Structure 1
Amino acid sequence: MLQLDQIPLKQIHGVSALKEGELHAFGIFNVQDMLEYYPFRYEDYRLRSLSEVKDGDKITVQAKIMGIPVLQRYGRKSRLTCKLMAEDWMFTATWFNRHFLKDQLTSGREIVVTGKWDLKRMQMTVSDSEFPDKGVARSGTLQPVYSIGGKITQSWMRKTMNQTLQQFGEMIPEILPELLVRKYSMMPRKKAITGIHQPEDNREGQEARRRMVYEELFLFQLKMQAFRALNRGRADGVVHTVDNATVREFVRSLPFELTDAQKKVELEILHDLRSPYCMNRLLQGDVGSGKTVVAAIGLFATVRSGFQGALMVPTEILAEQHMRSLQKLFEPFGISVGLLTGSTTGKKRKELLASLQMGLLDIVVGTHALIQEDVYFRQLGLVVTDEQHRFGVNQRSILRRKGYNPDVLTMTATPIPRTLAITAFGDMDVSTISERPKGRIPISTYWVKHDLMDRVLGFISREVDQGRQAYLICPLIEESEKLDVQNAIDLHIQMQQAFPNYHVGLLHGRMTPAEKEEVMRSFYANEVQLLISTTVVEVGVDVPNATLMIIMDADRFGLSQLHQLRGRVGRGSHASYCILVADPKSEVGQERMKVMTDTDDGFEVARRDLDLRGPGDFFGTKQSGLPEFRLADMVADFEVLEKAREDATDLIKDSSFWTSPQYEVLRGYLQKEQIFQGDLID
């Protein structure tokens, strides 16, 4: 019997070749994908009584047409009004650009209208209407709303989803073992998927979602725990044989003393390197906590063991910076460091690739240029990726495959509460650097209103006149009709006029990578004193001379993002400042400003962000390497995630899981996910 993921979309009645192509754009390629394309909210068409609704509510009421409709035209636009009676309430219904309804609004006829209720004027602005005598009824239901675009409309999507459920609903298999379904009193899978698309009421929708959220998180954790169990038992990783005295000699040569947190993480990494099992470790630490130095110790141990190391970073300028700092650290020990980016071309590139392949080059630092086909290592022993969420899953795994089971260290400056990190990255060990290097000057943070902008400009003047540099961050690139917020292009012009003697640069996401690199290079070299930018500088180059970070309309940013931006300054020996310019209207906006001025500890900021923003968008779409789910939310559903991890761990440890027929479907899922291939999971 065919599986749902083997049935093409064209088998669904009403899906043409053209529509099939449109669905592909949403990642829908087969019947299973279609059924698992869930709505993100519901339109409530259940009938309400006017006596119980508040001003401004969106409601659906059944009424009787009581008067003659009046049509007014304004060029191509029109306004249609008509008196309706619901219960004992007489009100005016208004339709915009629905002139064709005029002839259907006959006195005495029943109508169901949905729209925004204006209690003071006793009127409704109608968004939807239908006539019960036509037999087509949305009223009385919760209608799903899907994320769509192109030529796919909501009504087509709803109709096609209903058709898919009619044709293939009976084929929806149960995946979870009966003992787990019973343990949490969950509805069967077939009923849950139907209930998400066509809930009879809120309760059924919630129960359906509860079941499918658990399933998503359970399958994710099962994959993680199976990988962990299978690979922890396989001693086929790289074994590094460096002795403690050699590592101590290198650590003593560093121009500063390691913090206790760095020493603890260093020991964890060295333990992993010496073991025959593949290291797969996430190193998280606040901006400026010294993650790179810890990675350098790992790279040093790798080279002293006779292997090569690779460090992959998101931008060319950051790669150059890491290469220079590693060269300085490794030079006394005769360890060679090379640089491979998109700008490494011609003879230089050929020589570097040859040195790498012959083992003459110990460490290579680079961008995604490292994963090109013609890059070969003689003996790759350690792969380090910095700001891992900037790379795709495939990019990271290609680099790993350039060696035979090399150890992997992944670094991120996005602080994640530790329990969440451990649970989310089930196949990784998590190390955290939670303290700052000694002697690092804290960044002073101030919140000012827009009417104090003149004083902010005076502050910029003072810093730049002393030879320092400043960032000025905006939420938008260009002016927006919808948002009354500062934009980078206008601000660039204003700052050029305000500071005619300074070089003012502009950086934003629509520039090409080469243009961005050039601007950052100029800023790094102090050829640009004031850099106007959007959040593209959030993860970027270290500019020790930059001492001032000004964030316009700061209440438009999330706390984690504000903290990342603040971390761009305070990297040199001078006192540094972060100024938040904002007039927040909401309590959440005001609270964010307060958190930023109260603390500069990234983990505390992350914890408060979690409390404030609510779990839904804590991480933001781009801010972390956490997996994406169709329904589940790592933070909102954290308790479910923990239960799913416990259940998956127990099941994987149970010997019957690998043999019993009741777990055949789950074993098939792991087989399909290639868990038994031994490739690292992202």
Structure 2
Amino acid sequence: MTAAHPPHRPEILFPLFGELTKLPGIGPKSADLLERMQITRPRDLCFTLPNAVIDRTRRATITGAPLPGVVTVEVTVGLHQPPQRKGRPYRIFVTDSATEFELVFFHAREDWLRRQLPSGERRLISGRVEIFDGRAQMAHPDYILSVDEAETLPAFEPVYPLTQGLTQKAISKAAAAAVALAPELSEWIDPTLLAREGWPAWRDAVVSAHEPQDTAALSLQDKARRRLAYDEVFVHQVTLALARATARRRKGRATVGTGALQEKVRAALPYSATGAQDRAVADITADMAATRRMNRLLQGDVGSGKTLVALLAMLAAVEAGGQAALMAPTEILARQHHEALAPLAADAGVRVALLTGRDKGADRARKLSALAAGQVDILLGTHALFQGDVLFHDLRLAIVDEQHRFGVRQRMDLSAKGALVDLLVMTATPIPRSLALSQYGDMDLSVLDEKPPGRKPVDTALISAERLDAVVARLRAAVAAGRRAYWVCPLVEESEVISATAAEARFKTLRAALGDAAVGMVHGQMPPAEKDAAMADFVAGRTQVLVATTVIEVGVNVPEASIMVIEGAEGFGLAQLHQLRGRVGRGAEKSTCLLMYSSPLTPGAQARLEIMRETEDGFRIAEEDLRLRGAGDVLGVAQSGLPRFRIADLERQADLMATAQNDARAYLSHDPDLSAPRGKAIRTALYLMEADRAIRLLSVG
């Protein structure tokens, strides 16, 4: 949306959405350079804040100023000394109230310099002063002003981010002109919050952020900046709250289970569910029993027992006479869900089927016709479940497992599959609360924060790659004692082929050390049937060591495996290390995780490995990961649909996200179509921030 105005954009905002070239000093060439910085309208310049400030407060003399540094001082111009030879500098001697120093110019024209700095006259100059050969020099002053013009120089000058070809002067001038276009707008922030935080009005905040009076004005705590950051996250949360409200207005179906099948499964379990599991099941079944559609996220740490919660939820759908579907991201995981759930479901007399891309021809046709006839109660599979020819008899509940790469749009597509289907998204990736709110703010949240009984802590040790032989020797002893181990090969960014080659090389060396029969291998380049066979051998104990790439990161469940070796651990992110470690510690044996690293470690890698050694709490690990790497990396921005904020800092202003969510949901509950005075102001904010999706949701309302 360039200068053309979308329907109903308030007229008061038109100047901010005009053409950049109307601003002073911005021609077509500068406009192209600004476009590289995602600046295409005056509004974008208003939201591009200075990232530094130059102190140009006047001093009487350069004596005592911290040098090298920028100094602003009034001087009397003395002798001009043109260069004797080509390539030498032009020098002008000047005197302030206490000392003499030199102005130095390279390749300058003498007539211009004599006009700017006539001997005997007073001038205000500002620029960087350095000591050179024992003498103070200012090379090419930033400002040379007559005494009458001195008032025009700001005491603190903002410094903007640049792209090659743009100058500070050009962007400062354009930003000042853009800020001058910012209108006074009605307030959209909750008045109590505004008063409590002491935030300025929107226009005052923009002006203040572009005119920093000291370096403190650049901090995240600065009231003007904090207000502008809040505006961004608030508009994002209004968008999510509108999506949630729209989803809730869609008629759902009351799916009320009898509890009979759930009771049968619980009775057959060798353990009882945790309090967190019981709470999650209660949340989910209450949502299913309501007449609006469920849109819930179940977040649980590695091994917190999401699979049982999913099964109990699906049984509620079956008890009510309907069907349920569970979609996993990979075939290995879908098969594993089938192996885990089918026996439990069979105890309750529930019919479970598995559908993956591997089902072809008559076999696939048979499954599809049974599904359409209602002879399948629970369907497990990969995204193949949601292809056009897969028709359910009466789908009540769709569960998407491990989809932290599943954005809001895909969730909306998915829930369109069945008439009035309830949707549950599960993830074993603990996401810090601020990110969960920004990523899944349109959903209701249940968290599994207890480990099921019997899960033992995993001993984690750091070990240098130089001690590889010692690790192999320990592994040989463990294998002789009948233990099972994973050996994860280093992560090779962007190349599954190289990762596979590394895995094959390690597979050969371990077979040589431990015996051919003891070692299996699985990596992403293998044909699916070979992968399954290798996994089956490891599960059954026919092989005792499984060499793998990160294909085993999510969900592989072999309770007998009690050793995890991660080679090149310094190359993995915290979330990945945590997921990999979660593959052990599932059975009766004491488990160990060895993080092998190559020296020297970067400070970031050192910090990651230390956190892994200190804690197994996935949520604490996720918060640390966010602090160390930033939001984009934690979720993988490209896939995550994470908002790209210009001002708000998701890592360090996490508190704003929760406040914004509470405020947005509370406000929309009593003014759902934003028609009251504050609601109209919020509409203006949506147009200002180009929250197109929210505007569409309102217009279809």
Counterpart Cα distance in 1 of 2:32 and 2:557: 47
> Where do residues 35-54 of structure 1 align in structure 2 (5 Å cutoff)?
35=45, 38=48, 42-46=51-55
Decide which of 387, 391, 396 is 1:381's aligned counterpart.
396
Q: Structure 2: which amino acid aligns with 1:444?
A: D
Is 1:142 aligned to 2:142, yes or no?
A: no
Counterpart Cα distance in 2 of 1:596 and 1:313: 27
1:561-607: CA deviation from partner (whole Å, max 9, x where unpaired): 43223113334555432112346768876665454334323245456
Q: Is the 8 A contact 1:282 1:429 kept in 2?
A: yes
| Cα deviation, residue 252, structure 1 | 1.9
| Cα deviation, residue 291, structure 1 | 0.2
Decide which of 167, 170, 192 is 2:205's aligned counterpart.
192
Match of 2:291 in 1: 276
Match of 1:621 in 2: 635
1:205-228: CA deviation from partner (whole Å, max 9, x where unpaired): 434321111112323344455666
> Where do residues 258-273 of structure 1 align in structure 2 (5 Å cutoff)?
258-273=273-288
Q: In terms of mean alpha carbon deviation, does 407-416 or 324-333 score higher? A: 324-333
Q: Is the 8 A contact 1:71 1:102 kept in 2?
A: no
Q: Structure 1: which amino acid aligns with 2:185?
A: E
| Cα deviation, residue 299, structure 1 | 0.9
Q: Structure 2: which amino acid aligns with 1:392?
A: G
> Where do residues 544-563 of structure 1 align in structure 2 (5 Å cutoff)?
544=559, 546-552=561-567, 554=569, 559-563=574-578
1:287-342: CA deviation from partner (whole Å, max 9, x where unpaired): 01110111011112112212222222222322232233333332344534344444
Decide which of 580, 583, 588 is 1:568's aligned counterpart.
583
1:612-645: CA deviation from partner (whole Å, max 9, x where unpaired): x479559823399794350324452233334434
Task: Give SS of 2:679's match.
Answer: helix
Bigger Cα Rg: 2
Q: In terms of mean alpha carbon deviation, does 346-355 or 244-253 score higher? A: 346-355
Counterpart Cα distance in 2 of 1:120 and 1:550: 57
Q: Is the 8 A contact 2:243 2:694 kept in 1?
A: no
Task: Give SS of 1:219's match.
Answer: helix
Does the C-alpha gap of structure 1 residues 82 and 489 become closer, same or farther in structure 2, counting only changes over 3 Å?
A: farther
Q: Is the 8 A contact 1:464 1:470 kept in 2?
A: no
Q: Structure 1: which amino acid aligns with 2:484?
A: R
> Where do residues 21-36 of structure 1 align in structure 2 (5 Å cutoff)?
23=35, 32=43, 34-35=44-45
Q: Structure 2: which amino acid aligns with 1:42?
A: N
Q: Is the 8 A contact 2:458 2:592 kept in 1?
A: yes
Decide which of 445, 448, 461 is 1:446's aligned counterpart.
461
Is 1:292 aligned to 2:307, yes or no?
A: yes
Counterpart Cα distance in 1 of 2:181 and 2:144: 33
Q: Is the 8 A contact 1:38 1:196 kept in 2?
A: no
Is 1:431 aligned to 2:440, yes or no?
A: no
Q: In terms of mean alpha carbon deviation, does 569-578 or 240-249 score higher? A: 569-578
> Where do residues 474-553 of structure 1 align in structure 2 (5 Å cutoff)?
474=490, 476-477=492-493, 492=503, 495=506, 498-499=509-510, 501=512, 521=532, 523-526=534-537, 529-531=545-547, 533=549, 537-539=552-554, 541-544=556-559, 546-552=561-567
1:75-100: CA deviation from partner (whole Å, max 9, x where unpaired): xxxxx999999998999x9xxxxxxx
Match of 2:231 in 1: 215
Q: Structure 2: which amino acid aligns with 1:550?
A: V
Counterpart Cα distance in 1 of 2:89 and 2:565: 51
Match of 2:6 in 1: none
Q: Is the 8 A contact 1:311 1:365 kept in 2?
A: yes
Match of 1:76 in 2: none
Q: Is the 8 A contact 1:505 1:532 kept in 2?
A: yes
Counterpart Cα distance in 2 of 1:388 and 1:660: 38
1:255-292: CA deviation from partner (whole Å, max 9, x where unpaired): 54323332232223222222223222222221011101
Decide which of 384, 408, 418 is 1:369's aligned counterpart.
384
Q: Is the 8 A contact 1:68 1:83 kept in 2?
A: yes
Counterpart Cα distance in 2 of 1:650 and 1:43: 37
Task: Give SS of 1:317's match.
Answer: helix
Counterpart Cα distance in 1 of 2:415 and 2:332: 23
Match of 2:150 in 1: none
Report percent identity of matched pairs.
28
Counterpart Cα distance in 1 of 2:197 and 2:310: 43
Q: Structure 2: which amino acid aligns with 1:187?
A: P
Q: Is the 8 A contact 1:472 1:552 kept in 2?
A: yes
Does the C-alpha gap of structure 1 residues 10 and 470 become closer, same or farther in structure 2, counting only changes over 3 Å?
A: same
Is 1:637 aligned to 2:648, yes or no?
A: no
Match of 1:411 in 2: 426
Match of 1:459 in 2: 474
Task: Give SS of 1:330's match.
Answer: helix
Q: Is the 8 A contact 2:386 2:414 kept in 1?
A: yes
Q: Is the 8 A contact 1:290 1:437 kept in 2?
A: yes
1:533-564: CA deviation from partner (whole Å, max 9, x where unpaired): 4x665435335565433334545655444322
Q: Is the 8 A contact 2:674 2:682 kept in 1?
A: no
Does the C-alpha gap of structure 1 residues 171 and 633 become closer, same or farther in structure 2, counting only changes over 3 Å?
A: closer
Does the C-alpha gap of structure 1 residues 131 and 230 become closer, same or farther in structure 2, counting only changes over 3 Å?
A: closer
1:505-537: CA deviation from partner (whole Å, max 9, x where unpaired): 585xxxxx765967854652458945364x665
1:638-667: CA deviation from partner (whole Å, max 9, x where unpaired): 333344345445534556995533532325
Counterpart Cα distance in 2 of 1:494 and 1:122: 62
Task: Give SS of 1:389's match.
Answer: coil
Counterpart Cα distance in 1 of 2:446 and 2:601: 39
Q: Structure 2: which amino acid aligns with 1:209?
A: R
Decide which of 417, 437, 445 is 1:402's aligned counterpart.
417
Does the C-alpha gap of structure 1 residues 349 and 278 become closer, same or farther in structure 2, counting only changes over 3 Å?
A: same
Counterpart Cα distance in 2 of 1:130 and 1:477: 47
Counterpart Cα distance in 1 of 2:40 and 2:374: 45
Match of 1:177 in 2: 188
| Cα deviation, residue 456, structure 1 | 2.0
Does the C-alpha gap of structure 1 residues 142 and 171 become closer, same or farther in structure 2, counting only changes over 3 Å?
A: closer
Q: Structure 2: which amino acid aligns with 1:174?
A: L
Does the C-alpha gap of structure 1 residues 208 and 356 become closer, same or farther in structure 2, counting only changes over 3 Å?
A: farther
Q: Is the 8 A contact 1:284 1:411 kept in 2?
A: yes
Q: Is the 8 A contact 1:144 1:198 kept in 2?
A: no
Q: Is the 8 A contact 1:315 1:540 kept in 2?
A: no
| Cα deviation, residue 183, structure 1 | 5.2
Q: Structure 1: which amino acid aligns with 2:682?
A: L
Decide which of 265, 288, 292 is 1:250's aligned counterpart.
265
Q: In terms of mean alpha carbon deviation, does 4-13 or 601-610 score higher? A: 4-13
Gaps of 5+ in 1: 73-79, 94-100, 147-151, 480-486, 508-512
Q: Is the 8 A contact 1:312 1:366 kept in 2?
A: yes
1:98-155: CA deviation from partner (whole Å, max 9, x where unpaired): xxx964599999998779x9x999999x9x97765699x9996332226xxxxx6362
Match of 2:3 in 1: none
Give RMSD over aligned pairs: 5.4
Task: Give SS of 2:635's match.
Answer: coil
Count of aligned pairs: 634
Q: Structure 2: which amino acid aligns with 1:551?
A: I
